[in-house]
Amino acid sequence: MAGASIMETLFQRNLEDLIKASRQQQVRESLFISKSMDEIRREIKSTDLHTKSIALQKLSYLSSLHGLDMSFAAFHAIEVVSSPQFLHKKIGYHAITQSFNDDTPVMLLITNQLRKDMNSSNHFEVSLALECLSRIGNIDLARDLTPEVFTLLSSIKAFVKKKAIAVVLRVFEKYPDAVRVCFKRLVENLESSDPIIVSAVIGVFCELSLKDPRSYLPLAPEFYKILVDSKNNWLLIKVLKIFAKLASLEPRLAKRIADPICEHMRRTGAKSLMFECIKTVVSSLSEYESAVKLAVVKIQEFLVDDDPNLKYLGLHALSTIAPKHLWAVLENKEFVIKSLSDGDFNIKLESLRLVMAMVSESNVAEITRVLVNYALKSDPEFCNKILGSILSTCSKNLYEVIVDFDWYASLLGEMARIPHCQKGEEIENQLIDIGMRVKDVRPELVHVSRDLLIDPALLGNPFLHNILSAAAWLSGEYVEFSRNPFELMEALLQPRTSLLPSSIRAMYVQSTFKVLISYVHSYFLHKENVASSIDSGNQASEVPESFSQRKFPESSDLTSEAPACSEQDGDFNPRDSNQSFEDLSTENDGDVTVTHGQASTSASLGKNSFTQESIVNLLNLVELALGPLSRSHDVEIQERTKNVLGFIDLIKKEILNPIIQGEQYLAREGTEASNAVKLMRDAFSKELGPVSTSAQERVAVPDGLTLKEDLSDLEMICGDALLPLSSSFSLGSPQYGEKFDAPLSNLQSKDESEPLKESTSLLAEHRKRHGLYYLSSEMGEIVSNEYPPANDPMSQDKLSDDAADLVKLTEQSVASKKKPNNVKPRPVVLKLDGDEIAIAAKKPELNSGMLSGAVRDVLLGSEALPTSSRSNLSDKPSSNKKGKEKLNTDLPLESKDNLGGEEMPGGAASSRKSKHRSHGKERRHKSVGKNGEEKEDNSQKKETQKSNHRHGRHKPRQKADGPLNVVAQTPVIPDFLL
Amino acid sequence: MIKSVMVMNTQGKPRLSKFYDYQPVEKQQELIRSVFGVLSSRAENVSNFMEADSIFGPDTRLVYKHYATLYFVLVFDSSENELAMLDLIQVFVETLDKCFKNVCELDIVYSYSKLHTILDEIIFGGQVLETSSTEVIKAVEEISKCSLSLSLYIYIYIYLLSSLFLLCVCGAGFFMSVHVINR
C-alpha cells in the first residue's frame, strides 16, 4: 500500500503539468478536462495526503477557471486541511473558500480545525484560517469562533491583527451577539499607531455603517479625528464614506465636517480623494452653499480633464447633485450637450441623464427636439436609451412637464417612426394613457393614429406593432374625431394587417367595429336629418352643428337583445336601394329614436359622404376583409369578426332592401336596425377613464354588516384570486384595467358584503376570473347583465354612494391640478389620488427592503437571547414609546452604560448632554481598566456586566430599526464633536 | 466591499476568478462570460467603468483595466471609491510585475496558486487590507518559503525512499549476478 502511494506520488501530475498539458490540447480541451477529472477523482481518494492535496489543487483550478463542480470533494478538502503541513493546509483552505457555502453538509467539521489553526503559532496558518472564516463563515462558525477572533484582535502581530479585524465584519454579520464581545476591542484599535490597523478598522466600520449608520453616530468623534489628522488617502476615503452616511442623519455633524472636507478638496492632489470629497458634498452636504460651490468647481475640473474616467465621474457627480442644485448642471449645459456625442457609451449615458434632469415645462420641446435628432443619428442602443428617457421624463408625475399635449401626441407619433425604435410598449401605454386622461388631446391623437395606421410600411416592423395596436384602439375609441372614417376603415382593413400578431389583429377588428358603428350611426342620423328637412320643406340638408358635441347618456339599456340575427341576405342589389332611400328617410321621421346621447361629428357629416353607395361600399369592404378571419384559429379574432359580420347582416337587410320597407311604410324594421346601431353606439360612447389602483379600497363596507370570523377562510380564497388581478391591472394597460374593474368591484363588494358560503364564493371567484377574460376580450360591447361595462351608471347603482365620493375626489384632484398662469392653458390631466397613493405606498416598502438584512440580524439575534432584559426588547417593535420608557426604568444599568443615547426623550437633551459625554469617557476609562483584568478567566459576574454594557450599545440600533424611526430621530443627539 | 476579482484574456478565457460572495460555479462562468461580452465591445481609450447592475444586481460597479492581452476586472459596491479601485488594480498588477519580473500572461497562467496568494494578501474577504506592493511581496515570499520548505522536505523524503528502493534493486541484482557467476 505504501509502495503504491509512493508510486502514485511519483507519477502524479501536479498542477503545472496539468496546465501545460491542457495548453497543448488546443482542440479537444473538454475531453482532456474530463479525462483529468477522472484522474483527480482517483487521486483524491488516495491515503497519501500529498497526493490528495495535489489532486485537490488541480480540482480547484479546474473548478475556478473551467467551471467544474467540486462539491464532491468537500470532505477531502477537510482532510487536507487537517494535515500538519502548511502547503497542504493552504491548498485545503483555498479549496474550502472556493467551494463551501451554507449548504455544504460537512461545514460543521471544520470548526475545530479552524480553532486549532487560529491558535497556531505560525501566523500564516492563523491568516489562512481567518481568511477561510471571512469567506465561508456561517452563524455556527461565527458563534463558535468568536472567542478566538476576540483573542486575535489583540494580537501583537499586525499581520494577524488586521485580518482578525477584517474578519469581525463577517462574524458580526452572521452572529450579531459577537458585537457584545468584540466591539470594544474593535473600537480600541481605532487608536492604534499602525495605519494599516486603523485602515482595517475603518474599513469594517465603513461596511457596517453602510447598512445601519445610526448605530455608529457615537463614534463620530473618533472618525472626525481621523478626518482631520490623517494623511492616508485610502483611510480618508473610507472615513468620508462613513461621514456621508452619518451626516445625513445628524445635521450638526454635517456642519462640522463641511470645513475639513473643503480643506481636503483644496489641498489634495489625489483624484480619488477629491472625487470622494465631491461625492460626499453632493450627496450629504448639499445645504452648505460654499462646499457645494467648491465641489462644482472641482467637478468642472474633472469635466475638462482628458481622462475619460474623470469626465465620466464628473458627470456622474453632477447628476447626483442635479435634483438639488440644478444651477450646477445648467452652468455646464454646453459641455453636457456636447458629451451626448462622445465616443464613450458611459459618458453619453450620463450626459443623457443630465439633459433629462434639465427638462422643465419651458424647455421640454427644445430639448426633446435636440434629443430626437441625436436619436436619429446614433446607434440603436443609445437611440433607445434616448427614447426611453424622453418617455419616462415626459410621463413623470402624470406628464407634469407637458403643457402642449398636441405637441406631445405628435412627438409620440414621430418617435414611433424612428427606425431603431424599440420602445413600442411604452409608447403604446402613453398614447392610451394620455388619450384617457387628457380630453383635449383626443383629436390630435386620432390624427396621429390615422397617420400611423395608414402607413403600410410600419406594419412590417414588429417593434411597432404595439404602437399600432394603441393607434387602432384610439381611432376606434375616439372615432368621432376622425375626419374620414372611410379612409380609417381602409387603413384598418388593409391586407398587410396579416403581418400583425393575433392579439393586435383582434384589436384592429374591434376598432373596425367601432368605426363601422359610428359610421352607420352617422348615416342614420344624416338620413333623419334629410328626412326632417324634407318634411319641413327645407331641401337644403344642412348639417346640424349642434350635434357635434359629445354627450354622455345618463343611462343605457344594455339588456336589450344583441344583434344576434345573422340571416343571410344573398341577393341584394345596391343600385335598387338608392331610389328608395328618400322614401325610407321620410318614413323615419315619425319615430325619432334619437332623443339623447347623440354623438356625431360635424367633420364627417360635413363631407356629405353618406350616400347609400358609400355605406354599401363600406359594408362590402368590411365583409370582404373580415370574411376570411371568421375562420381564424385565434378565438379572439374569430369571435370579434363574427360580431362584426353579424352586425353587418343585421343592418344590411334594412339598408339594402329599402323597397320593401319603402312600399310597406313600416318603420319597425328601420327602427330595429337603427335602434341596434344606437345601442351599440351608446355602448361604445361610454367614456373610459383611468382607474385608480386604489379605487377598490375606497368602497366602504356597508353599515350593519358584521363580518363573521369564518369569513377569514373566504378571504384566503379570494385573496388568492384578487391578488393577481389587482396587480395585473394598472394604468399601464388601461384598456383592460377599466374593463374589468367595475364588474370586479361589484363582485368583490358582493363578496364582502354578504357572508357567502364557500361554494358561492368559489362561484364568484370563477366568475371573476372569467369575467376578466370575457370582458377584456369582448371590449365590453355585448355584455350580459352579470358583467356590466365599466362606468355604466346602472351597474354602479349599488356602490353609487362610494362611487360618487370617488368622482368627487377625482374632480377635486383634477381641479387642483389646473395651473392658472399658463399662457396656453394646460389641458386637464385626469389624475387620481390612487396614482399618488400607489407611489407613496411603494416607498416605505422599498426602504425597509434596503435596510440590510445584516442589521436586522443584529436586532433579531440579540433579541433572541434568553436574558431577562431581552424579553422587554423583543416585543418592542410591536409596542411603542411606552415600551421604550419602560425599558429605561427597568434597566437603569443599561441606560447608564448606553453610549448611544438616541432614545432619550427630547426634553431632557441639554441637561443630559454633558452627562452623556462623560459617559462616553467613563466608558473608555472603564474599558481600559477592564482590559487589564479581562482575560480568559472572566468571572461570570463580569460577563454579565459586560454583556449588559454591550447590550446597551445595542439598543440604539434597535431603536433605529424599529418602526419608531421618526420618533427616535427627534430626540437630541449629544454634540459628539465637542 | 469588493465582490469579485477577475482576470481574463482578450479571448475571454478566464485566468483568475474570485468571488467574495459565494456563487455556484455555473453562475461564475456565466458572470465571467457576460462581463467579457460587454468588455470586448468597448473601444480603447474610453472610461474604465462599466454599468454592471444588469449583471451583478443593483448597487454594483465594475472597473476594469486592459493590460496587453489581459483584462483585470474588479466588481464592488458603493462602499468603495471608483478611482481607488482603479488604483488597486494598478497595485495588483505592479505586485505581479515585481513578483514575476515583467509579468506576462503566461506567468499568470502557470502560477495559479501564487496568484491567489498575492491577491489574498491585498484583498481579504472582500476588504482591501494592503495597498503597498512591497508589503505584499514580503508576505508572499515568506508564505512561499514556508510552503516550499515543507514541500522540499517531502521531495527529499520521496527521493530518499526511491533511492533506497533503487539501491535495494541494484543490490539484489548484484547479488543475483554474483550468484549466477558463482554458478
Chain B residues within 8 A of A101 when measuring between CB atoms? 22
Q: Which residue of A has its CA nearest to B29?
A: A67
Q: What is the pLDDT of residue A89?
A: 92
Q: Among residues A63, A55, A39, which one has the least CA distance to residue A88?
A: A55
Chain B residues within 8 A of A248 when measuring between CB atoms? none
Chain A residues within 8 A of B124 when measuring between CB atoms? 130-131, 134, 162-163, 166-167
Q: Are A79 and A55 in contact (CB under 8 A)?
A: no
Q: What is the pLDDT of residue A830?
A: 66
Give the torsion through C-alpha atoms of A890, A895, A900, A901, to 10 deg. Answer: 80
3-class secondary-structure state, position A273: helix
Q: What is the pLDDT of residue B116?
A: 93
Can you give the CATH number for the domain in which B8 is found? 3.30.450.60
Test A57 with B113 for CB contact under 8 angstroms: yes
Q: What is the pLDDT of residue A131?
A: 93
As a whole number of angstroms, the distance between CA A741 and CA A790 comes to 7
How many angstroms away from the CA of B44 is the closest CA of chain A?
A: 9
pLDDT at A839 over 50: no
In a domain, B46, yes or no: yes
Chain A residues within 8 A of B125 when measuring between CB atoms? 131, 134-135, 166-167, 169-170
Higher-pLDDT residue of B77, B183: B77
In a domain, B163, yes or no: no
How many angstroms away from the CA of B177 is the closest CA of chain A?
A: 26
Test A309 with B142 for CB contact under 8 angstroms: no
Test B129 with A124 for CB contact under 8 angstroms: no
As a whole number of angstroms, the distance between CA A77 and CA A60 comes to 10
Torsion sign, CA atoms A305, A308, A313, A316? positive
The dihedrals phi and psi of A898, each to the nearest 5 degrees, come to -60, 125
Which candidate from A50, A70, A122 shows the least CB-CB separation from B154?
A50
Rg (alpha carbons) of chain B, rounded to whole number: 24
Q: Mind listing the pLDDT tens digit for each residue in A434-487?
A: 888 888 888 888 888 888 888 888 888 888 888 888 888 888 888 888 878 888
Q: Are A210 and A247 in contact (CB under 8 A)?
A: no
As a whole number of angstroms, the distance between CA B5 and CA B3 comes to 7
Domain that holds residue B43: 2-131
Test A309 with B131 for CB contact under 8 angstroms: no
Q: Which of A49-53, A557-561, A611-615 has the lowest mean pLDDT?
A: A557-561
Q: Which of A16, A65, A320 to mutate to test the interface with B (most CBs of B within 10 A)?
A: A65
How many angstroms away from the CA of A272 is the closest CA of chain B?
A: 5
Q: Which residue of A has its CA nearest to B77?
A: A207
pLDDT at A299 over 80: yes
Which candidate from A64, A275, A347 shows the least CB-CB separation from B47?
A347
Q: What is the DSSP string of chain B?
A: -EEEEEEEETTS-EEEEEESS---HHHHHHHHHHHHHHHHTSPTTS-SEEE-HHHH-SS-EEEEEEETTEEEEEEE-TTS-HHHHHHHHHHHHHHHHHHHTS--HHHHHH-HHHHHHHHHHHEETTEE----HHHHHHHHHHHHHHHHHHHHHHHHHHHHHHHHHHHHHHHHHHHHHHHHHH-
The total number of structural domains in chain B stands at 1
In a domain, B28, yes or no: yes
Q: Mind listing the pLDDT tens digit for each residue in A751-784?
A: 444 444 444 555 455 555 544 443 333 333 333 3
| Per-window interface: A 65-104 vs B, CB < 8 A | 65, 67-70, 85-87, 90-91, 94, 100-102
Test A15 with B113 for CB contact under 8 angstroms: yes
Q: What is the DSSP string of A280-294?
A: HHHHH-TT-HHHHHH
Task: Tell me the average pLDDT of chain A.
Answer: 70
Q: Which residue of A has its CA nearest to B108?
A: A19
Q: Are A636 and A777 in contact (CB under 8 A)?
A: yes
Q: Which of B7, B112, B155 to mutate to test the interface with A (most CBs of A within 10 A)?
A: B112
Strand order across the beta sheet in which B2-9 lies: B14-19, B2-9, B70-76, B61-67, B49-51
Q: Is A126 in CB contact (< 8 Å) with chain B?
A: no
Cross-strand partners of B50: B62
Test B150 with A85 for CB contact under 8 angstroms: yes
- Tell me the pLDDT band of A716, cut-offs 50, 70 and 90: low
C-alpha grid cell for residue A895?
A: 441606560
In a domain, B155, yes or no: no
What residue type is assigned to position A677 of the chain?
A: V
Q: What is the pLDDT of residue B88?
A: 94
Test B22 with A10 for CB contact under 8 angstroms: no
Cross-strand partners of B128: B123
In a domain, B25, yes or no: yes
Test B161 with A87 for CB contact under 8 angstroms: no
Q: Mind listing the pLDDT tens digit for each residue in A487-518?
A: 888 888 888 888 888 888 888 888 888 888 88
- Tell me the pLDDT band of A119, cut-offs 50, 70 and 90: very high
How many angstroms away from the CA of A273 is the closest CA of chain B?
A: 8
How many angstroms away from the CA of B180 is the closest CA of chain A?
A: 29
Q: What is the pLDDT of residue A75?
A: 92
| Per-window interface: A 144-203 vs B, CB < 8 A | 159, 162-163, 166-167, 169-170, 196, 200, 203
Chain A residues within 8 A of B120 when measuring between CB atoms? 131
Higher-pLDDT residue of A667, A658: A658
Test A94 with B22 for CB contact under 8 angstroms: no
pLDDT at A321 over 60: yes
How many angstroms away from the CA of A308 is the closest CA of chain B?
A: 5
Q: Which of B113, B132, B149 to mutate to test the interface with A (most CBs of A within 10 A)?
A: B113
Test B16 with A65 for CB contact under 8 angstroms: yes
How many angstroms away from the CA of B143 is the closest CA of chain A?
A: 7
How many angstroms away from the CA of A197 is the closest CA of chain B?
A: 9
How many cross-chain Cβ pairs, A to B, lie less than 8 Å apart?
149
pLDDT at B124 over 90: yes
Chain A residues within 8 A of B50 when measuring between CB atoms? 346
Test A86 with B83 for CB contact under 8 angstroms: no
| B35-41 mean pLDDT | 90
Which candidate from A63, A343, A346 shows the least CB-CB separation from B49?
A346
Q: Among residues A548, A412, A550, A395, which one has the least CA distance to residue A470?
A: A412
CB atoms within 10 A of CB A1: 7
As a whole number of angstroms, the distance between CA A166 and CA A539 comes to 98
Test A23 with B109 for CB contact under 8 angstroms: yes
As a whole number of angstroms, the distance between CA A661 and CA A587 comes to 9
**Structural element, H or E, at residue A667:** helix A667-685
Test A169 with B125 for CB contact under 8 angstroms: yes
As a whole number of angstroms, the distance between CA A841 and CA A836 comes to 8
In a domain, B139, yes or no: no
pLDDT at A238 over 90: yes
Q: Which residue of A has its CA nearest to B52?
A: A346
Q: Among residues A47, A133, A132, which one has the least CA distance to residue A95?
A: A132
Q: Mind listing the pLDDT tens digit for each residue in A37-83?
A: 998 998 898 888 888 999 999 999 999 988 888 889 999 999 999 98
Test B113 with A70 for CB contact under 8 angstroms: no
Higher-pLDDT residue of A422, A908: A422
Q: Which of A492-496, A628-632, A706-710 has the lowest mean pLDDT?
A: A706-710
Q: Mind listing the pLDDT tens digit for each residue in A257-272?
A: 999 999 999 988 889 9
How many angstroms away from the CA of A163 is the closest CA of chain B?
A: 7
Chain B residues within 8 A of A131 when measuring between CB atoms? 120, 124-125
Q: Are A236 and A200 in contact (CB under 8 A)?
A: no
How many angstroms away from the CA of B48 is the closest CA of chain A?
A: 6
| Per-window interface: A 29-58 vs B, CB < 8 A | 50, 57
* Cβ density class B121-148: b for 16+ within 10 Å, e for less: bbbbbbbbbbbebebbbebbeebbebbe
Chain B residues within 8 A of A70 when measuring between CB atoms? 25
Q: What is the pLDDT of residue A609?
A: 54
Higher-pLDDT residue of A668, A635: A635
Task: Tell me the average pLDDT of chain B.
Answer: 87
How many angstroms away from the CA of B47 is the closest CA of chain A?
A: 4
Chain B residues within 8 A of A269 when measuring between CB atoms? none
Q: Among residues A393, A403, A394, A482, which one has the least CA distance to residue A445?
A: A482
- Tell me the pLDDT band of A816, cut-offs 50, 70 and 90: very low
Q: What is the pLDDT of residue A886?
A: 39
- Tell me the pLDDT band of A3, cut-offs 50, 70 and 90: low
Which candidate from A10, A87, A200 shows the least CB-CB separation from B162?
A10
As a whole number of angstroms, the distance between CA A279 and CA A259 comes to 15
| Per-window interface: A 224-253 vs B, CB < 8 A | 233-234, 237, 241
In a domain, B121, yes or no: yes
3-state secondary structure A490-513: HHHHCHHHHHCCHHHHHHHHHHHH
Which candidate from B42, B81, B109 shows the least CB-CB separation from A272?
B81
C-alpha grid cell for residue A22?
A: 491542457
In a domain, B108, yes or no: yes
3-class secondary-structure state, position A462: helix
